[in-house]
Amino acid sequence: PGRVRVAVRLRPRNAEDLLSDADFADCVELQPELKRLKLRKNNWSSESYKFDEVFTGTASQKRVYEVVAKPVVESVLSGYNGTVMAYGQTGTGKTFTLGRLGKDDASERGIMVRALEDIVANVSLASDTVEISYLQLYMESIQDLLAPEKTNITINEDPKTGEVSLPAAVTVKVQDLDHFVELLQTGEGNRHAANTKLNTESSRSHAILMVYIRRSVPEKVEDDINSQDRITKSKLPMVRKSKLLIVDLAGSERLDKSGSEGLLLEEAKFINLSLTSLGKCINALAENSPHIPTRDSKLTRLLRDSFGGSARTSLIITIGPSSRHRAETTSTIMFGQRAMKIVNVVKLKEEFDYESLCRKLETQVDHLTAEIDRQQKLRESEKYDLEKRLRDCHDSFNETRKNLVTRSELLEQKNTRLELDIEEALAELNCQKDQNSLLEDKIADLEMSLKQNKQNQLENSTYQKVLADTTQMYEKKIAELMKQLEVERAKSESAEEQLDAMKKLSDEHKKLIQHHEMENSKYQMALADTTQMYEMKITELTKQLEDGHTRFEGAQEQLDLANMLLADYQNSTQGQDETSELRFKLEEMYRLHESTVNELQSLKAEFKDQIQEKEAISEKLYAVQEKLSAEEKRRKAIEHELVNLKKGAPEGDKHFEDKKSYMKENIRGTSVLGTSAILNKSGTLRVTQSAQRATIAKICEEVGLQKIIQLLTSEDSDVQIHAVKVIANLAAEVKIISAELIMVLYTADGNQESIVEEGGLDALLTMLRSSQNATILRVASGAIANLAMNEMNQGLIMSRGGAKLLAKTASGTDDPQTLRMVAGALANLCGNEKLHTMLKEDGGIKAMLGMVRSGNSDVVAQVARGLANFAKCESRAMVQGHRKGRSLLMEDHALEWLIDNCNTTSASTRRHIELALSHLAQNEDNARDFISSGALQELQRISNESSREDIRNLAKKMLKSNPVFQGEMRLGQQ
Ligand code: ADP
Ligand code: MG
C-alpha cells in the first residue's frame, strides 16, 4: 500500500500496424514474468523499465480489472477515496480498458462496468446508496454527460477538508447494473469526439466517471460514545462517504501528428494544458516537492483529493507495438515511471483488519457449512438408493423361489411316469431272454454238421490238383518237339534259292568285260592325234619370244642417251639463282637502315618536348610554393588572432576547456549512444545516462550546435571524434533529451533537424569521403544511421551521395562495428520507397549484400532487415499502383542472398528474410526468378514452418494467388 500502482498494457498489433510497419520490429518487448518492459531506442540498443504489472496483448479484461482496479474498488468500499486512470496515445486502448460496455460479449466488459458490478454486489441497497456523475473535460470546460446542456460546471473545494465537489453536476442513484450500463451509454452518446487523423473513434477530451458511495456504519461504533450523546446519535445514523474516480484521459500524442488545423490549434493548447499540468503534478509528487501545482488546470483540481494524498490510486498506461510511434510510446512509459514514485499516505483503521478477518472467517464458515450440507444431502440420497436396491432384491428373490417350486412339482410327475415305463420294459425283456436260449441250442447243432462237411471237401480237392499237374507237363514237351521240326525244313529251302542267284550274276559279268575292251582301243587313237597338234603350236611360240627380246635391247640404249642429255642441261641453270638471292638481301638491308634513321629523328624530337615540359612544371612548382608560403602566413595571423581572443576572454576559455575535457572523458565509452562508464562511482547506469544526456544538452545549449559541428572539420582527429560522438548522441536521443516533463518533450525534439540544418550531415558525409581513421568512420556512419531513421533526412542523405559513400566505406573496411552501422544506415534507407531506384543505382544494395562476407551476425541481421524493408515498401507501392515490373532487388541477386542466409540461427533475422521473400513473391514479375532460383520451395517451407503466424499466412496467400506458382507446384506434384 502507499505507492501509486502503475501497470502497462500493450495493444495487440492491428491491421494498420501490419500494413504500415515496414520495419516490422516492435519498438517494445514485454517480459511479463519479470514485470519488465524493454524499449528499443534504435536498431541496436534498448532500455528496460520495471512496472507493477505488465500486460501483453493477450491479457484478458478480467485480469486487467482484478489487478489494476479491484484493490482500489475494495478500498473505496471500505471508505477511502480511490482513482483509476488510463493514460496513453490515442488508439492504444484507454477506452477499451475503461469504458467498454461488453453488451454482446460479457468477457469484454471494461473497468467501469466491472467496478460497478462489484460495488452493487457489496453494498446493501436498503441502507446504502450508490450515485454516479459522468463528466467530460474539454478545452478546460467541464460538461455534464448525463445532462449535456450543462456546460462549464464549476469546481468547489472545501477549504477545511479539501474535499472537491461539483454541486451543479447531475448525480443519479444507481439501482442495478443494467441501469448503470444504460447511463454510461447515454453519456457516451453525448461525448464529443473530434475526428482525428489517427483514429476516427478517438477523443481529445477527458472522460471522468465519479461514483459516490454512502454506507451506514455498523452499530458497534455507538458503543464508544458516551451515554449523553447516545440518544441523539442513535437518531442520526452514522454514514461513511467515499468516492471512486475513473478517468479516461485524452490522447497523449503530439497534436501536429493528429492533423490539427484552424480552430483545433486552440483546442490543442487547452488539452495540453490539462495533461501538462497533470505531468507537472506527478513530477512534483514523485520528487516529494512541498508545492504541488494542482491549481493550474481543471483536471488537476478535480483530482486533488483523489490522486496521491490520502487516496488509493492505480494508473494504467496503454501503448501500441508500432515503431512509428516510438516517441509517443517513450513519453508514455516515462510518465508511468514517474508516477510509480508517488507515495500515498493511506491510513488503515484497525476495524478494517478485523472486518476483513471476520469476512474471511465468515466465508470460510459459509464454505464449510455449505460443504457439510452438501455431504449430508449426498449421504441421504445414498441411503435412499441402497434401500431401494434392497427392496428390489427381495422381490426378485421371492419370484425365483416360486418358479423353482412349480418346476420341482413338474419334475416329480415326470419321474413317476418314467418308473412305470421301466417296469413294462423289464417284463418284455424276460420274455425275449427265454426265446434266445432256445435259438442258441439249435445253432449249436447246425454248427456240428457244418464242420463234418468241410473236412470231406478238403480231401477231394488235393486229389484233383495232382492230376492236373502231370497232364500239363506232357503237353509242354510235345509242343517243343514240333517247333524243332519246322526250323529244319525252312533252312534247306533258303540254301536252294541262294544257289540260283549266284549263277545269274556270273553271266552278266562276262558280257560287261567284252564291252570295256572295245571302248579302250577307240580312246588310244584319239590321244595320238592331239599330241601331234600341240607340239606344232609350241615351236611357233618360241620363235615369237626371241623377236621381242631384240626389240627391248634397242629401246634401253635410247633411254641411256636421253639421261646423259638431261644431266648436261641441269648444270647450265644453277648460277642465275644465286645472284637474284643476293640482290634481294641487299634491298632488305637498305630498308632497315632507312627505318632506324627515322626512329632516331623522332626520338630526338620527343626529347626536346620533354625538356620543354620539365621547364613548365618547375615554373608551376615555384608558383605553388609561393602560394603555400602565403597561406602559412595567413594561418599564423589567424592563430595570433585566436590567442588574442582567448586572452580577451579568460573565463570563457576555462569554460571551453572544461567542456573539452568533459567531452573527452564522456566519449571514451564504447557505444555510439554513449553508455559510457563515467560516473560509475555515483550510481546506476540510468543515472549516468540521464546525467550524460543532460550534460550533452547543456553543451549543446551553451556551446551552440554550430560550433560543435565546426569541430568536426578540426585538424585534431581526437577532437573530431568527440564532436562526432556528441552529434551521434544528439541524433539518437531525439526526443528523450529532457527528462523534465513529458509535455516539454514535445518541444525538445529539434536536435535532428538542427544537426542537419547546421551542416552536420554534410560534415559527417565529408568525413566518410576523406577520413582514413577507423574510429571516425565507425562513429560517423553510426551517426548517419541514426539520422537515417528520419524520413526527411533520408532524402537529404541520398541526394548528397550518402549511399555511394556508405558503399565505399563498406568496401574499405572489415571492422564489424563499422559494417553494422553502415548496414543499419542502408537498411533504414531501404524503408523509403521513393529512394529505391537511386539506392540501387548508387550501389547501396550491392554493398549491403556484399557485407555478409564479414560473417558477423549483427551485420547479417541489419542486411536482412534492410531487404525486408525494401521488399515491403516495394510491394506496398505495387499495391498502390505506382510501381511496376520486376523487383529492383533481383538484378543484384538479393534472392540468392536470401536463400543462402535463411538458415541463420537468429530468429529475428530469419523472420526478416521470410518477410522479404513473402513480399517479393507478391510481385508476379518476380515469379520466374522465384522458380529458377528455388525460392518457390523456400516460400512453401515458410508457409508451413515459419514461427510467426502472420508470415505463414502471408506466404500461403502469395502461393495461392499467383497462377504461375500454382502451375509450377502442380507440375512438381506430377
Ligand atoms: P483510445 O481510447 O486509447 O483512443 P481505444 O480504446 O478506442 O483507444 O482503442 C482503439 C482500438 O483498438 C479499438 O478499436 C479497440 O477495440 C482496439 N483495442 C484497444 N486495446 C485492445 C486490446 N487490448 N485488445 C483488442 N483490441 C484493442
Ligand atoms: Mg478513447
pLDDT tens-digit readout, 865-918: 999 999 988 888 888 888 888 888 888 888 888 888 888 878 888 889 988 988
Q: Distance, CA 190 to ligand 1 centroid (Å)?
A: 20
Domain that holds residue 728: 704-736+746-800
User: Ligand 2 centroid to 712 CA: how many Å?
Assistant: 47
Atom of ligand 1 nearest to the CA of 97: 6
90 lines ligand 1 (CB under 6 A): yes
Annotated ligand binding at 95? The verdict is: yes
Of 352, 380, 397, the position where a domain reaches its end is 352
Q: Which of 727, 830, 833, 849 is nearest to 784 (CA)?
A: 727
Is 394 inside a domain boundary? no
Q: What are phi and psi of 539, to 5 degrees?
A: -60, -40
336 conformational bin, left if phi > 0, alpha if psi -120 to 50, beta if neither: alpha
Ligand 1: residue of 96, 98, 197, 201 to mutate (most ligand atoms within 8 A of CB) is 96
> Is there a single domain that holds both residue 211 and residue 157?
yes
Are residues 852 and 711 located together in one domain of the fold? Answer: no
pLDDT at 193: 47
Q: Tell me whether residue 94 is annotated as binding.
A: yes
Could you tell me if 790 and 822 lie in one domain?
Answer: no
Q: Is the pLDDT of residue 152 over 60?
A: yes
Q: How many CB atoms sit inside 10 A of residue 660's CB?
A: 15
Same domain, 278 and 129: yes
Q: Is 967 annotated as a binding residue?
A: no
Establish whether 91 is an annotated binding residue: yes
Q: In terms of pTM, does the model score above 0.85?
A: no
3-class secondary structure, 418: helix
- H or E element, residue 82: strand 82-88
Q: Which atom of ligand 1 is closest in space to residue 92's alpha carbon?
A: 3
Provide the edge-to-edge strand list for the sheet that holds 28-31.
28-31, 36-42, 45-50
Q: Are residues 906 and 780 in the same domain?
A: no
Beta-bridge mates of residue 483: none
pLDDT band at 474 (very low <50, low <70, confident <90, very high): confident
The answer to whether 271 touches 203, Cβ cutoff 8 Å, is no
**Judging by DSSP bridges, how do beta strands 129-138 and 156-157 pair with one another?**
unpaired
Question: For residue 251, how far is its CA from the centre of ligand 1 (angstroms)?
Answer: 12
- β-sheet bridge partners, residue 137: 142, 206
**Centroid of ligand 2 to alpha carbon of 277 (angstroms):** 20
Evaluate: CB of 110 within 6 angstroms of ligand 1.
Answer: no
CA 64 – CA 113 distance, rounded (Å): 13
CATH number at residue 306: 3.40.850.10
Confidence class for position 232, pLDDT limits 50, 70, 90: very low
Beta bridge partners of 8: 54, 317
pLDDT at 190: 81
Q: Is 681 annotated as a binding residue?
A: no
Query: For residues 57 and 156, what is the distance between their CA atoms, to the nearest angstrom?
Result: 40
Q: Tell which atom from ligand 1 comes closest to the C-alpha of 96.
A: 6
CATH number at residue 917: 1.25.10.10
Are 98 and 243 found together in one domain? yes
93 is in an annotated binding site: yes
Is the same domain home to 140 and 285?
yes
- Both 321 and 207 in a single domain? yes
Nearest to 783 by CA among 809, 798, 761, 812: 761
The whole-angstrom separation of Cα 776 and Cα 764 is 9
CA distances from 557 to 55, 465, 560, 831 (A): 133, 130, 5, 110
Q: Look at 706 and 791; give whichever has higher pLDDT.
A: 791
Confidence of residue 548 (pLDDT cuts 50, 70, 90): low
Residue 25 CA, ligand 1 centroid: distance in Å? 21
Q: Is 332 in the pocket of ligand 1 (CB under 6 A)?
A: no
Among 352, 374, 392, which residue terminates a domain?
352
Last residue of a domain, one of 291, 324, 352: 352
Kindly report the length of the chain: 974
Residues 852 and 849: their CA atoms lie apart, in Å, by 6
pLDDT at 562: 58
Q: For residue 642, is it within any domain?
A: no
pLDDT at 124: 87
pLDDT category at 364 given cuts 50, 70, 90 is confident
Closest atom, ligand 1, to C-alpha of 9: 23
- Measured in Å, residue 94 CA sits from the centre of ligand 2 at 5
Q: Is residue 426 part of a domain?
A: no
Identify the pLDDT of residue 2.
74
Beta strands (DSSP E) in 267-364 are 312-319
Distances (CA, A) of 499 to 101, 490, 495, 505: 151, 16, 7, 11
- pLDDT value at 238 more than 90: no
pLDDT of residue 648: 54
The answer as to whether 81 is a domain residue is yes
Find the 200 Cα to ligand 1 centroid distance in Å. 12
376: annotated binding-site residue?
A: no
Cell output for 185: 451509454
313 has binding-site annotation:
no
- Please report, to the nearest 10 degrees, the dihedral formed by the alpha carbons of residues 441, 444, 449, 452 taken in order: -160
Kindly indicate the confidence band of residue 333, based on its pLDDT and cuts at 50, 70 and 90.
Answer: very high
Q: Answer whether residue 221 shows pLDDT above 60.
A: no
Atom 16 of ligand 1: nearest residue by CA position: 96
Pair 164, 214 in one domain: yes
Please tell me the total count of domains within the chain: 3
* 64, 206: one domain: yes
Ion ligand 2 — residues with CB < 5 Å: 94-95, 203
Same domain, 891 and 773: no
Atom of ligand 1 nearest to the CA of 248: 2
135 CA distance to ligand 2 middle (Å): 14
CA of 97, nearest ligand number: 1
In a domain, 680, yes or no: no
The pLDDT of residue 237 is 60
Query: Exposed, middle or buried, 341 (CB in 10 Å: 0-12/13-18/19+)?
Result: middle
Residue 816, amino acid: P
Answer for the pair 844, 807: CB distance below 8 angstroms, yes or no: yes
**682 CB-near residues (< 8 Å, 6+ apart):** 688
Q: Which whole-number Å values give the CA distances from 169 to 213, 244, 298, 351, 918, in the listed order? A: 16, 16, 15, 34, 57
856 domain-assigned = yes
Do 208 and 180 lie in a common domain?
yes
857 HSE (CA, 13 A, CB side): 9
Cβ–ligand 1 contact at 314 (below 6 Å): no
Is the pLDDT assigned to residue 24 strictly greater than 90?
Answer: no
In a domain, 157, yes or no: yes
Q: Report in angstroms the alpha-carbon separations of 624 from 107, 610, 617, 620, 866.
A: 85, 21, 11, 6, 48
Q: How is residue 200 written as a grid cell? A: 476516427
* CB-side neighbour CA atoms (13 Å) of 311: 26
Query: Model confidence over 411-420: pLDDT tens digits?
Result: 988 988 898 8
Does 372 reside within a domain? no
